[in-house]
Amino acid sequence: MIEKLFKKIPAGNMMIPLFITAILNSFFPNLFTIGKFSKHLFTTEGMVGLMALNLTISGTGLRFENLATAVKRTGIISIARVFIGVVIVFLVSKFFGKEGIFGISILALVCGTLNHNNSVFISLNLEYGDEIDNAGAGIAGIITGPFLALLIFGSSGMANISVLNIIDSIVPLIFGMIIGNIDHEFGENLRKCQKYIIVFLGLSMGAGINIFDIFKGGLSGILLGVIVVFIMGSFTVFIDMKINKRRGHSAWAISTTGANAIAVPAIIGSIDKTWMPFVEIATAQVAASVIFTIIVIPLITSCWANKYEQA
């Protein structure tokens, strides 16, 4: 019964658990904090471990013979996404300054555009892509996180970004790649488990979301999500189809705002106090963009993948 329900909704194995815990967290924020076990299973405290496990399993699909293909595919859409994000931020900053445009400050724009949700990327590629698309999540994961936003603000030194940070982010991928190349059968068995691990990743992600944030962010927060999906996403899909000669499903899958971006405005505000007046509203807008993109992108990816599969 549960699996049938998951199949009826795009990326349902992640989206349904995510929205269950998001709704519960919105009304009962301390529901899953009774102890260590419940915290690590049902809240964001367990998300990093589950994400590392997911990247390890994704890495088992990176065989030496397809490594170059995976790097090319995911590298191109990742670079395209960052490029268009930086262009948008630069143009808005140049012509409108810190205040930004349509109520979206530069702070919110940087945090909302230069960060994608790698869990959504994995889940959608697991459903609509092949093993190379799925393995590419480890490559995409290298560029996600708050450090891109901090670099744009000229705070790279204060962001404590080192070679070790980069190495740490790809260790699970490399570990999985070693396993998959040593024992193909074991790697195949691990990948069979991935769709179930995604369920628990969805539970932990949802516990960090408050659905009321979409109202706090207002129309400007929704507009930020629209920029991420329809401007950045369309450009990334175009590049994917023209250069990679792919149907664009992975490019849509990477066109989200990552949940960890919600914390970035406060980080930047603590580094540079001149941004403090923008922190509260920027945080709400980024949260609204996170929720909006998590809802919209699976639907678009599903429709797009089905359309080109039938073409």
**Which amino acid is located at 72 in the chain?**
K
- Cβ–Cβ contacts within 10 Å for residue 130, how many? 13
What pLDDT does residue 275 have? 78
Two structure tokens written together for 75: 């590298």
Q: Which of 45-54, 70-79, 258-267 has the highest mean pLDDT?
A: 70-79
pLDDT(13) > 70: yes
Answer whether 287's CB lies under 8 Å from 216's CB. yes
Return the percentage of the chain with pLDDT > 70, whole number.
86
What pLDDT does residue 159 have? 38
pLDDT tens-digit map of 50-105 = 878 877 887 787 777 777 888 889 889 999 998 999 899 889 988 888 788 888 98
Segment 118-138 mean pLDDT: 80
Segment 112-124 mean pLDDT: 85
**Which amino acid is located at 171 in the chain?**
V
pLDDT(266) > 60: yes
Which distant-in-sequence residues (6+ apart) come within 8 Å of 159 by Cβ? Answer: 146, 147, 150, 151
The least confident of 197-206, 225-234, 235-244 is: 197-206
φ, ψ at 103 (rounded to 5°): 85, 0
If you ran DSSP here, which 8-state letter would residue 98 be given?
G
Domains of the chain: 33-302 (1.20.1530.20)
Phi-psi region of 63 (alpha: psi -120 to 50; beta: other; left: phi over 0): beta
What pLDDT does residue 229 have? 96
pLDDT tens-digit map of 165-174 = 556 667 887 8
pLDDT tens-digit map of 205-227 = 777 777 787 777 788 999 999 99
**1 compared with 119, residue with greater pLDDT:** 119
